[in-house]
Amino acid sequence: MQSYLPACKIVSTHGVRGEMKALPLCDGAEFLAKFKRLYATADGTGECRVLGVRTQGNVILLRLADVTDMDAARAQVGRTYYFAKADARLPKGRYFIDDLLGCEVRDADTGAVYGILTEVDHPAAQDIYTVTDAAGEKHMLPAVPEFVKTIDIDARTILVTPIDGMFNDAVNGDKE
């Protein structure tokens, strides 16, 4: 699990006072506006104080303390900024995708191991988890309370109650 996650990527300048247009790489402007600082690298170096974040269409407009004019903003184009997970406050029942990846997926009733969570997609109203079994086969699991019963990040486990055929009897590598 990483300590710093991508927040946004600078795509262009906006105006002459150092404001920058950025593609959000997190939950968007509202989430990003809660941070007082961002980092220039994924290891937490290059701390930058956030002066402002607002939405403009599908991008965000970002102001940082050390970027005060168009030339300084132009020099940031292409750069990705990161936030510290320790600075983030997620609502109960919400998790960072980075924390979910690699968790073992088990049956909530039997304890049988279905595989490892290898991907999280968000194509519509809910996330879709991709679980890769021991044979390397991928299985899709809607991340809804009907299927996902418990997520324990500390224990690195996700307990689920799948419907018949969801994992094609993938427990212990067996197949129909």
Model-level pTM? Answer: 0.72
Which residue reads 């690298």 in tokens? 41
Q: Average pLDDT by consecutive 10-residue portion of the chain (176 residues)?
A: 90 93 87 92 93 90 94 96 90 85 94 93 84 92 92 93 78 45
Q: 153 near 99, Cβ under 8 Å? A: yes
Q: What is the pLDDT of residue 2?
A: 83
Domains and CATH numbers, the chain: 4-87 (2.40.30.60), 97-169 (2.30.30.240)
Q: What is the pLDDT of residue 176?
A: 41
Q: What is the pLDDT of residue 169?
A: 56
Which residue reads 């609502």 in tokens? 91
Handedness of CA 37, 82, 123, 166 (dihedral sign): negative
* Residue 72 tokens, joined: 């300084």
* Residue 79 tokens, joined: 């750069």
Q: What is the pLDDT of residue 1?
A: 67
Nearest-angstrom CA–CA distance, 141 and 92: 21
Q: What is the DSSP letter of 148?
A: E
Q: What is the pLDDT of residue 98?
A: 86
Q: What is the pLDDT of residue 140?
A: 92
Which residue reads 């593609």 in tokens? 23
